[in-house]
Amino acid sequence: MKRYLVLADGTIYPGTGFGAPAATVGELVFSTGMSGYQESITDQSYNGEILMFTYPLIGNYGINRDDHESIKPTCKGVVVHEVARRASNWRSEMSLDDYLKQNQIPGITDIDTRAVTKHIRKKGAMKATIVDEVLPDTVERLRVTELGKAVVAESSTTNAYPNPATGPNVVVVDFGLKHSILRELAKRHCNVTVLPYNTTASEIMALNPDGVMLTNGPGDPKDVPSALPMIREVEKHIPLFGICLGHQLFALANGADTFKMKFGHRGFNHPVREIATGRIDFTSQNHGYAVSRESLAKTDLMITHEEINDDTVEGVRHRDYAAFSVQYHPDAAPGPHDADHIFDEFIDLMAAHQVARKGSKFNA
Amino acid sequence: MPKRTDIHKIMVIGSGPIIIGQAAEFDYSGTQACLALKELDYEVVLVNSNPATIMTDKEVADQVYLEPITLEFVSQILRKERPDAILPTLGGQQGLNMAMELSKSGILKELKIELLGTKLTAIDQAEDREQFKDLMEELGEPVPASGIAHTVEEALAFAEQSGYPVIVRPAFTMGGTGGGIAETAKELHDIAENGLSLSPVTQVLIEQSIAGYKEIEFEVMRDAADNAMVVCNMENFDPVGIHTGDSIVYAPVQTLADREVQMLRDASLKIIRALKIEGGCNVQLALDPDSFKYYIIEVNPRVSRSSALASKATGYPIAKMAAKIAVGLHLDEIKNPVTGTTYAEFEPALDYVVCKIPRWPFDKFTKADRRLGTQMKATGEVMAIGRNIEEATLKAVRSLEIGVHHVEEPALASVDDDELSDKLIHAQDDRLFYLAEAIRRGYTIEDLAELTKINVFFLDKLLHIVEIERALKANVDDLDVLTTAKRNGFADQTVADFWHESADTVRQFRESHQLKPVYKMVDTCAGEFESTTPYYYGTYEFENESIVDKKPSVLVLGSGPIRIGQGVEFDYATVHSVKAIQKAGYEAIIMNSNPETVSTDFSVSDKLYFEPLTLEDVLNVIELEQPRGVIVQFGGQTAINLAQPLADRGVKILGTSVADVNRAEDRDEFDKVIKSLQIPQPAGDTASDEATALAIADRLGYPVLVRPSYVLGGRAMEIVKKRADLDHYMHNAVKVSHDHPVLVDRYLVGKECEVDAICDGETVVIPGIMEHIERAGVHSGDSMAVYPPQSLSADVQAQIIKYTEQLAVALNCVGMMNIQFVIHDEQVYVIEVNPRASRTVPFLSKVTDIPMAQVATRVILGQSLKDQGYQTGLVKAGDMVHVKAPVFSFSKLNRVDSLLGPEMKSTGEVMGSDRTMAKALYKAFEAAKLHVPSNGNILFTVRDDDKPEAFKLAQRFHALGYQLLATTGTASYLTDNGLPVTVVKKIDSGEDDLLHQMEAGQVQAVVNTVSDEEQAADDGTLIRNTSIEHGIPLFTALDTVAAILQVRESQSFVTQAL
């Protein structure tokens, strides 16, 4: 079925529909990862976004039961050059087409995704829609459509739930978490309690955790003001670790500023340098906002990590508190595992804090 | 860390002659490395014995030594040059092995020379099977169950335990030489025995077979700060069991979920870190298609063929980066030359699919064993880029230049089902075509996957192609179907065949509907960053990115995949032509399909189109670029064959006109030219049917030389001695027709020589005459050639010069030409004129110091030779003697007869230069690894015609103190004439028969001129094969024997009793 990808600046790309036949509106972004479409599509950070893959063949290995990053995907659409006719992998359970249909996500294929990518690179990420036909007012209607700001509320859990284990007690504040964060914590035997995004500091303190994690999530960090007082309070007492949106919120809470990037970092070949050691990791990234480097000057945060090509702030640490954050995804999935040592650092930080406070480690 | 300042002078070791498994990719990597080091202000000393390379150009290194890569010569150069360090990781296996040998000899320690890139311990750990296994165990990385065997018995004992099939891999050999899969004890016995003899350390690995696993490769890099990254990953179409060099390969991986990709990435990075490699490394892995189980198959601790492919597939110049890393730079300090804005510490993201298909020599070696296995057999490869698998695959297929433009080999339609399924199970080079045929016959892809273990994902792409074929057939002149076909890589010609139209008609139809290709950039980053790489591929999409420059441009057509008869020499000429075009102020555009070469390095030209060299694809680029003209003289027969069809469609061919090219190549036209000039040529005629051929031969008298017209490298050329043989030839070797006539010439016995000349229509410069050592009858590409000539009389040389000048002017040659002569009774005859650059251009350019391809290009662009400072005539030679020697790859190819003849068989060349002929010859033989020790046993087995001459050679060996061995017939002739000869025992006569003697190292050289048909009793082929398998110098032309004797005699004193 012929469908169209229409951009807010009026550019129209004809293609063929797949997935759900519904119309959709979202911010069009691109990811350069050559594998991992399943993880990306199910990543809640894409809530509100139409996800385009620069690699032209998507769906080659189907969809499996293991690699989901959330239960209910919330991205607004999927744009590809060619969706696989036939998936082939021993774990594959269904085709990408069927999966998108099942989850009411529209897709469009036969698009010159490279042309669209270059367009976005030049003009910046912008609103787009996938429609069956282009009407005279399609572009105008797209222009005036307000994209939802409540994406974190949509993506976050509404109820607290545990992921019990015998290690350090970790509270995970869910802004739209990727399951791989829980997997990394589970690998390290953390006794996890996941709380909704709007949890207060006192609710967290009541659980007396060894550490608090701020997860990734969709949208503009400035749309989640409720988290800032929570962070300001918690960081004084408990080791804190933020990832992606969690990192941005941690920076905002400490007086830094964030800004919307032209077209963001989405993919997993972004080299990130740890300033102290010079170590470089290839990192999995998915962010359209970043922490302003200049704004950090007047805060108690110091830059610990940076992207080597465009100098984006990729990690900060609090000068006084046991609190740090990274912009990228040390939990990978999709993407390289280079940075998974960051989770070990969090574990070490919690342990050191325990020793300082009580003279002993966790009773694990 | 910035570059090291404690070292100043670095020696780079090249890879030597081109052989199967070690080809042009090392010219590409070596050139890049040398230039990178020079860029960093190091003094670079290069050693390479292969003249047909860009890397041995004077500008590439500060000191270029075209000397044998042997301990003797490299040590001498080290003592003279005293470099601080050696970079051995860019010269293939040859470079690494040389480094090991130097180290073992103690010279590196003595001269305090450091090895850069990969430490010896790492080379050992990666290449020594036992150490490799230990390292993998230490790292917790799985390797297939295996055992090391030093004897055949140990090999058999392992297999008894593990069960069959098992894979045999000899240690320290390249391209899988001598390896194989053994299904039975008998097979294992044979393969292990052969492998042990080929391994320099007499060691083979016997390995549990994991045939059928997915074969995955990772190209990884690491620097001294332990930064490590993946440049590219690749998935083989053919599962484990077929050498990766013989496999169809796709980049990036296609059927792996991210979890699998990251698992294998982790393993690859862990390995390169454990080996502490500073530079590039290739890791081959086998992945179970049904679980996360994987094995490490092999690690190459150096730049490899795969890294050349990965560089071209991604745009990321691995060798250049590896060289910089080797001198201390870190990946995050080096700019990514593709984007110019990002750093080299960057894992490329592709937004296209790359398909590589190997190019095999079986069109020339029709009797060779075409089965594929762990021994690589391909001489070259093509690469194609597309936006999907179908497009990349079909573009690659038509880049192969094997007479097809689609995955359809018409002959297969008549193959019966039994043979079809046999060919599917037992893969040959043409399995892709059998698969397509099977799908056309209705085999399901599930059945095919079962038979072949090829992933259904890939088979489904073939099915899709067949479905499009059906749609085309059912919908003639349908634009939608055509659009689908073009987006999936179909050639106009393929569509035309289905529509029963001409390709031109399809083209017009397509263009009238604006269905034209666009060109997209290869930028390493999938469009994420602004790039200016002038590297493009064509596809049927929305946006064109190739912006036509205002500056006038010239298009140069490359020579496509490397094959026997059309090797790296043509790439050399292509690259030089580009340099001259740029210097003349034009934009130089290259089109080529070969990922191994320097010409497809995007930094060589102003614009590179990585596209098939077919009429359609070339016209498409011309339509966009509108160049001033096209140069076809340097791309071998590939490019010259396109001249006529391009000219027919209004494209301007620069240089010699198409009409004049035809006058040189068309026999009848050429006859007119040569008759009017009264230049002698062997009597001959053209036959377009069998009867005429026989009649011509009867008239000329036997022997006659027969060959199809328009061929390169003497394909299907034969010397025929009697009528019955000619009859057989006409019915079996060629398909004669009016369009494809056969040339029948009188065969003149005599010395052969050739010239390359440059002409601007008036002035004719002859840089040099090359005299062949082997007499007429051995293909010029397989002959040793000497410059300047050593035994041609002044009169003969004068005749050569005169005829060359006359022919060049008469043929209105503008640019290069090559003429082959035979000298019979002091009379010079013209055998052949090629109106294009020949394979001797690099050799002659180097020894005469005349950049011939550049001079010719300037001529083609309009600058006269006079203006360039040249005048008509033979350029005066210097005081050195230079010998070019062919190098063969027989040890890689079963059942190829190594007997030299009019059909070319060599894959590469070396050269030796010195003040005397004998010394130059010695170097050439050493460089070609034809080392005859100063004493020992020489085996003679020659045909009757050769016996008197062989006697004289035997006598000379005897005088030098060698023992003579001979088979019965030859022995009795030699004995009758008074030489002491030991008659060898007939083959199969027991433990001490000839073959056993050879295997036991009791034969130091073999002189064998017996062809199959003549005396089967002498087992000529068997003796030759045994020599090749055991690395015993083999001579099948008596002239070559005379040359080696000349060397030996020059090195010995006469010891004569009174």
- Number of domains comprising chain B: 8
Quote the CA–CA distance of B1039 and B1036 in Å, as a whole number.
9
Assigned token pair, B908: 């590469």
In this complex, do A87 and B266 lie within 8 Å of one another by their Cβ atoms? no
pLDDT range class, residue B884, cuts 50, 70, 90:
very high
Cis peptide before B165 (omega within 30 of 0): yes
Assigned token pair, B630: 């096209």
CB B923 within 8 A of CB B50: no
In this complex, do B353 and A38 lie within 8 Å of one another by their Cβ atoms? no
In the sheet that holds A280-291, the strands lie side by side as A161-163, A191-195, A169-173, A211-214, A240-243, A323-326, A313-318, A301-307, A258-274, A280-291
B838 with B724, same domain: the answer is: no
Quote the CA–CA distance of A225 and A227 in Å, as a whole number.
5
B268 with B318, same domain: the answer is: yes
In this complex, do A90 and B291 lie within 8 Å of one another by their Cβ atoms? yes
B220 with B266, same domain: the answer is: yes
Quote the CA–CA distance of B345 and B398 in Å, as a whole number.
35
| Helical (H) or strand (E) element with B856 | helix B852-860
Cis peptide before B703 (omega within 30 of 0): yes
pLDDT (mean) for B574-594: 97
Pick the residue from chain A with its C-alpha nearest to B449.
A88
Quote the CA–CA distance of B617 and B613 in Å, as a whole number.
6
In order of B97, B175, B554, B927, the CA distances from B94 in angstroms are 5, 11, 37, 12
Quickly tell me which residue has 């869910």 as its tokens.
Answer: A174
B413 with B285, same domain: the answer is: no
B219 with B203, same domain: the answer is: no
B736 with B770, same domain: the answer is: no
Cβ-nearest to A56 among B255, B342, B352: B352
pLDDT recorded at residue B794:
96
Mutate to test the interface with A, among B258, B335, B488, B524 (most CBs of A within 10 A): B258
Q: Is B292 on the interface with A (CB under 8 A)?
A: no
Q: Tell me, rounded to whole angstroms, the distance of Cα A163 from its chain centroid.
A: 21
Residue B912 has pLDDT above 50, yes or no: yes
Quote the CA–CA distance of B709 and B707 in Å, as a whole number.
6
Quote the CA–CA distance of B1005 and B997 in Å, as a whole number.
12
Chain A residues within an 8 Å CB radius of B349: 32-34, 54-55, 267, 269
Assigned token pair, B372: 């594929």
| Helical (H) or strand (E) element with A274 | strand A258-274
Residues with Cβ within 8 Å of residue B937, at least 6 apart in sequence: B962, B963, B964, B965, B982, B1002, B1003, B1004
Helices (H), B977-1037: 994-999, 1020-1029
pLDDT recorded at residue B174:
58
CB B311 within 8 A of CB B602: no
In a domain, residue B832? The reply is: yes
Cβ-nearest to B526 among A32, A332, A335: A32
For residue B1003, give the CATH number of its domain.
Answer: 3.40.50.1380
Is A248 annotated as ligand-binding?
yes
Quickly tell me which residue has 């199809």 as its tokens.
Answer: B708
In a domain, residue B490? The reply is: no
In a domain, residue B902? The reply is: no
Assigned token pair, B725: 């043989």
Is A48 annotated as ligand-binding?
no
Residue B917 has φ and ψ, to the nearest 5°, of -60, -45
CA distance B462 to chain A (A): 12
For residue B410, give the CATH number of its domain.
Answer: 1.10.1030.10
How does strand B764-772 pair with strand B873-874? Answer: parallel
In a domain, residue B923? The reply is: no
B166 with B221, same domain: the answer is: no
pLDDT recorded at residue B175:
57
B308 with B285, same domain: the answer is: yes
Residue B991 has pLDDT above 50, yes or no: yes
Quote the CA–CA distance of B92 and B94 in Å, as a whole number.
5
Quote the CA–CA distance of B794 and B799 in Å, as a whole number.
9
Quote the CA–CA distance of B620 and B117 in Å, as a whole number.
43
Strand partners, A315: A305, A326
CA distance A350 to chain B (A): 27
Domain end: B332, B348, B364, which one? B348
Position A211: which residue type? G
In this complex, do B456 and A32 lie within 8 Å of one another by their Cβ atoms? no
Q: Per-residue pLDDT tens for B477-509? A: 999 999 999 999 999 999 999 999 999 999 999
**Cβ atoms within 10 Å of B647's Cβ, excluding its own:** 17
Lowest-confidence region among B93-107, B122-136, B723-737, B1036-1050: B723-737
CB A28 within 8 A of CB A80: no
A329 is catalytic: yes
B16 with B84, same domain: the answer is: yes
pLDDT range class, residue B1017, cuts 50, 70, 90:
very low
For residue B23, give the CATH number of its domain.
Answer: 3.40.50.20
Lowest-confidence region among B299-303, B571-575, B760-764: B299-303
CA Rg, chain A, in Å?
20
CB B884 within 8 A of CB B789: no
Quote the CA–CA distance of B669 and B664 in Å, as a whole number.
7
Full-model pTM: 0.95
Terminal CA-to-CA distance of chain B, rounded, Å?
72
Residue B516 has φ and ψ, to the nearest 5°, of -130, 155
B650 with B692, same domain: the answer is: no
B25 with B115, same domain: the answer is: yes
Chain A residues within an 8 Å CB radius of B541: 112, 114-115
In a domain, residue B134? The reply is: no
Strand partners, B428: B371
Is A217 annotated as ligand-binding?
yes
pLDDT recorded at residue B766:
98
pLDDT recorded at residue A175:
98
Domain extent for B1058 = 933-1058
Residue ranges of chain A with per-residue pLDDT less than 50:
364
Quote the CA–CA distance of B528 and A32 in Å, as a whole number.
8
Please determine, for the modelled complex, whether the ipTM score is greater than 0.95. yes
In this complex, do B257 and A273 lie within 8 Å of one another by their Cβ atoms? no
Q: Is B708 exposed, middle or buried (0-12, 13-18, 19+ CB in 10 A)?
A: middle
pLDDT range class, residue B994, cuts 50, 70, 90:
confident
Q: Is the dihedral of CA B45, B51, B54, B57 positive or negative?
A: positive
B781 with B850, same domain: the answer is: yes
DSSP reduced 3-state for B275: coil
Please tell me the number of Cα atoms within 13 Å of B848 on its side-chain side. 27
How does strand B518-521 pair with strand B535-539? Answer: antiparallel
CB B445 within 8 A of CB B459: yes
In a domain, residue B895? The reply is: no
Lowest-confidence region among A317-331, B177-191, B373-387, B780-794: B177-191
pLDDT (mean) for B522-531: 92
In a domain, residue B782? The reply is: yes
Q: Per-residue pLDDT tens for A2-38? A: 999 999 999 999 999 999 999 999 999 999 999 999 9
Quote the CA–CA distance of B650 and B556 in Å, as a whole number.
17
Q: Per-residue pLDDT tens for B714-752? A: 567 788 888 988 888 888 777 777 777 888 989 988 999
Length of chain B in residues, anyone?
1058
Q: Tell me, rounded to whole angstroms, the distance of Cα B989 from its chain centroid.
A: 40
Quote the CA–CA distance of B704 and B777 in Å, as a whole number.
10
pLDDT range class, residue B2, cuts 50, 70, 90:
confident
Position A358: which residue type? K
Domain end: B741, B766, B788, which one? B741
Domains of chain A: 2-148 (3.50.30.20), 152-358 (3.40.50.880)
Residue B1015 has pLDDT above 50, yes or no: no
In this complex, do B257 and A32 lie within 8 Å of one another by their Cβ atoms? no
pLDDT recorded at residue B1013:
54
CB B1049 within 8 A of CB B1017: no
Terminal CA-to-CA distance of chain A, rounded, Å?
57
Domain end: B741, B757, B782, which one? B741
Of B633, B553, B558, whose CA–CA distance to B855 is shortest? B633
Is A286 annotated as ligand-binding?
yes
Pick the residue from chain A with its C-alpha nearest to B336.
A309
Residue B629 has pLDDT above 60, yes or no: yes
